[in-house]
């Protein structure tokens, strides 16, 4: 039966709230009857032929349930409610075994987010772990890759911060409603993520950060991505739920090697022993995934000052000495060195031996 695309949002929300209806059952009900409003309009007898009578009765009761408070929150926070059978719903999530029927989105999911990589790890990282997570996220974001994580303390927070530092896109998958801030210290971070990507959740507005929600949301983190990078994780880390989801979804799993004496690296080092791909830089990840970032894409992914743009226009694929560039640009060598360092960090130019420079094409 063809799924009905035009629907009343309220009926989707009401149906998703019915006790006894999970992701699979909700999708099956809509596939069988056509749309949520048609599910509600079915007789108890017809519903009882498809599901157990207790759930059928709960559906009939829910038809007129009051969800005004939730709708008010959705409107006041400008939340988008995406249904699994519409075009705006991420294609990559439609392909996982149990896609969430509804996604609540604060911010915006864009076409470019199809090229996304997750960075996950322990909530109690070392300085090394936080530094590496931020560096990987920043480097990938500079190349136009969307960074996905869970906005938890530790590695997740560092990953989001790295993407934002590069002025790139990042998506946080929450284990609570998108109206909730968890952890509370990430209030400012959450606003920045919403402005430069999205905070998303399958859980209704007002849902608290319950422990059982986080393992469930991890399948969405991996489902949105081409691969998952584990930076630091202990041997019993919850990160392995995301890893297992990624493996079930045939996604690549990467691990950053760590100190063999560090508790936070025992899990990641074991992942490498078990077959995860070891990565020590952004290019390792991109090469494994077969992602080629052309020069124009690099430029679109970074913001250049007028002076940087001027310097870039003077460079080519042919090496040129800094003294020559200084003479042509009328910029002193000392100032030029600082500008070149910034462009190198953005992966736009490359320094060769003898202080020669080229565009990094």
pLDDT digits (tens, 9 = 90+) for 32-55: 888 888 888 888 888 888 888 888
Question: Is position 298 within any domain?
Answer: no
Q: Is the pLDDT of residue 1 over 60?
A: no
Written as six digits, the tokens of 253 are 């799993």
Question: Is position 95 within any domain?
Answer: no
CA distance 164 to 141: 8
Question: Is position 81 within any domain?
Answer: no
Q: Is the pLDDT of residue 308 over 70?
A: yes
- State which residues form the domain around 28: 1-65
Lowest mean pLDDT, pick from 60-74, 136-150, 181-195: 60-74
CB atoms under 10 Å from CB of 5, counted, come to 10
**What are the strands, taking DSSP E only, across the chain?**
80-83, 102-107, 116-120, 146-149, 170-173, 197-201, 227-230, 252-255, 277-278, 320-321, 349-352, 356-359
CA distance 62 to 128: 51
Q: What is the pLDDT of residues 89-106, one digit of tens each?
A: 999 999 998 899 899 999
Question: Is position 88 within any domain?
Answer: no
147 and 280 part of one domain: yes
Q: What separation in angstroms does the CA of 241 have from each of 218, 230, 256, 267?
A: 7, 12, 17, 12
C-alpha torsion sign, points 32, 36, 41, 43 = positive
Q: What is the pLDDT of residues 188-231, one digit of tens each?
A: 999 999 999 999 999 999 999 999 999 999 999 999 999 999 99
Structural contact between residues 150 and 202, judged by C-beta atoms closer than 8 angstroms: no
130 and 250 part of one domain: yes
Q: Is the pLDDT of residue 2 over 50?
A: no
Structural contact between residues 229 and 123, judged by C-beta atoms closer than 8 angstroms: no
126 and 273 part of one domain: yes
136 and 270 part of one domain: yes
Structural contact between residues 254 and 276, judged by C-beta atoms closer than 8 angstroms: yes
Q: How confident is the model at residue 9 (pLDDT cuts 50, 70, 90)?
A: confident
- The model's pTM is 0.79
**CATH number for 43:** 1.10.150
Taking residues 127-146, what's their average pLDDT? 94
Burial group, residue 36, by CB count within 10 angstroms (0-12, 13-18, 19+): buried
Q: What is the pLDDT of residue 6?
A: 32
Question: Is position 48 within any domain?
Answer: yes
Please count the structural domains in the chain: 3
Question: Is position 236 within any domain?
Answer: yes
4 and 111 part of one domain: no
CA distance 118 to 272: 17
159 and 230 part of one domain: yes
Question: Is position 97 within any domain?
Answer: no
Q: Is the pLDDT of residue 348 over 60?
A: yes
């Amino acid at each position: 039966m063809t799924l009905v695309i035009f629907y009343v949002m309220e009926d989707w929300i009401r149906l998703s709230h019915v006790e006894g209806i999970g992701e699979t059952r909700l999708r099956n009900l809509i596939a069988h009857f056509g749309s949520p409003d048609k599910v509600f309009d079915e007789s108890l007898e017809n519903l009882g032929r498809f599901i157990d009578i207790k759930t059928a009765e709960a559906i009939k009761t829910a038809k007129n349930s009051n969800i005004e408070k939730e709708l008010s929150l959705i409107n006041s926070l400008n939340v988008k409610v995406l249904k699994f059978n519409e075009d705006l719903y991420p294609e990559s999530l439609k392909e996982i075994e149990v896609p969430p029927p509804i996604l609540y989105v604060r911010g915006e999911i864009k076409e470019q987010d199809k090229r996304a990589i997750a960075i996950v790890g322990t909530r109690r990282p070392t300085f090394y772990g936080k530094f590496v997570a931020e560096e990987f996220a920043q480097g990938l974001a500079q190349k136009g890759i969307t960074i996905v994580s869970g906005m938890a303390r530790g590695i997740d927070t560092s990953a989001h911060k790295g993407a934002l530092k590069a002025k790139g896109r990042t998506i946080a998958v929450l284990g609570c409603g998108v109206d909730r801030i968890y952890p509370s210290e990430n209030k400012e971070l959450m606003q920045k993520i919403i402005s430069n990507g999205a905070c998303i959740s399958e859980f209704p507005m007002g849902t608290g950060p319950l422990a059982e929600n986080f393992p469930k949301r991890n399948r969405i983190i991996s489902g949105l991505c081409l691969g998952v990078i584990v930076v630091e994780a202990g041997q019993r880390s919850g990160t392995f739920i995301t890893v297992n989801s990624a493996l079930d979804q045939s996604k690549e799993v990467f691990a950053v090697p760590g100190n063999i004496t560090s508790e936070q690296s025992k899990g990641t080092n074991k992942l490498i022993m078990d077959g995860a791909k070891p990565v020590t830089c952004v290019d390792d990840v991109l090469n494994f995934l077969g992602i080629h970032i052309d020069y124009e894409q690099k430029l679109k992914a970074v913001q250049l000052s007028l002076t940087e743009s001027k310097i870039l226009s003077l460079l080519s694929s042919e090496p040129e000495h800094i003294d020559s560039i200084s003479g042509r640009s009328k910029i002193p060598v000392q100032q030029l060195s600082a500008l070149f360092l910034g462009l190198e960090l953005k992966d736009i130019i490359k320094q060769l031996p003898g202080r020669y420079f080229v565009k990094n094409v």
